[in-house]
Amino acid sequence: MRLLVCGGAGFIGSHFVRIRAREHGDEVTVLDKLTYAGREENLADVRDAAGFRFVHGAIEDADAVADAVEGADAIVNFAAETHVDRSIAEPDAFVRTHALGTYTLLEAARAAGVRYVQVSTDEVYGSIEEGTFTEESPLAPSSPYSATKAGADLLVLGYVHTYGMEALIVRGSNNYGPYQYPEKLIPLMVLNALHGDKLPVYGDGQQVRNWIHATDFARAIGHVLDHGVPGEVYNAGGPDECPNLDVVLRIIELTGGSDDLIEYVTDRPGHDRRYSLSSDKVRALGWEPRVRFHDGLAETVAWYRDNAAWWEPIRSGEYRAYYERHYGRALG
């Protein structure tokens, strides 16, 4: 297949590109704006793959999209602003990328007559105290991040109903694994613990997340691309749920740190208490997660410990300013 992968230089997108180029022999074009979260280095080991092409550009730029989509059989869209805390502080880019960007890609897919897969999130369903979300659950997003992702999903479904487009949506739960930007819970806690820095736990730390390894989520997206029914939504959740505090304690254990590093800080506004996702529908297509959280977390901690060359430039760049802006006062 010839794939246009938007946002392929980010965390999950780069795992997807690696799997599709190496294991499926797909010819991949990546279109990526290279925001603070996108890095060409994430694709270093597929740069030489047959048919690989990198286009630097934004998904809301119709000219860049027209160039990138040339010759593609399908578009898979990972491109997004992805950090809830940043969406609370500065929602502008979230609206632009998720609304205008998704619209621009849908128009390009429609003009080219190609299949379109939108990568989405369980956060569009909001928080669930008990039970588990299915694809039929109503959308009730809580943050500018999840609200704009839900808007993008609805636009995709509008194109399916109006134009009969061959579009599909995959909603994932919380991802973890190598190459995740260290603003997110797991890499942030791992790098802080390795440096002996404070570990900022929001509120009481009893919020629950459903963890999926990024390679499992990437494979679920590939499965939906290859076998999904056009117009359908598929949830892909991980095999394990875990309260945040337990995640942090396990990271402390794996890094040989001390519980004294934990600092309880002011809770995130509108913080969702629990996410839980049923994946029965995508499992019926033949997908299942391969990595249990206990093992995947140990492997992820080892990856960050062994790949300082990957995160050192990040920790000393834009991230430092963000970190001070966001945590400075709480952590003194």
- Which spans of this chain sit near ligand NAD (rule: CB under 6 A)? 6-7, 9-13, 32-35, 37-38, 58-60, 78-82, 97, 101, 119, 121, 149, 172, 174-175, 181
Round to the nearest angstrom and report the end-to-end CA distance of the chain: 52
Bridge partners of 55, per DSSP, are: 31
CB 9, min distance to ligand NAD, A: 4
Mark whether 327 is an active-site residue. Answer: no
Tell me which of 32, 60, 81, 122 is the catalytic residue. 122
Q: Pattern 179-218, binding to ligand TYD, x per CB under 6 A?
A: -----xx--x-----------xxx----x-x---------
Tell me which of 26, 32, 123, 153 is the catalytic residue. 123
Mark whether 145 is an active-site residue. Answer: yes
Handedness of CA 141, 247, 315, 178 (dihedral sign): negative
Bridge partners of 28, per DSSP, are: 3
Among 311, 237, 215, 247, smallest CA distance to 281 is for 237
∠ at Cα 289 (97, 137), nearest 5°? 55
- Count of residues that interact with ligand TYD, criterion CB under 6 A: 12
DSSP conformation class of 196: T
From the list ligand NAD, ligand TYD, none, pick the one residue 175 interacts with, judged by a Cβ distance below 5 to 8 Å according to partner type: ligand NAD
For residues 203 and 277, the answer to whether their CB atoms sit within 8 Å is no
Mark whether 92 is an active-site residue. Answer: no
CB 267, min distance to ligand NAD, A: 19
Distances (CA, A) of 190 to 94, 214, 306: 27, 17, 12
Which positions are annotated as active-site residues? 122-123, 145
Binding site for ligand TYD (CB under 6 A): 84, 174, 184-185, 188, 200-202, 207, 209, 244, 268
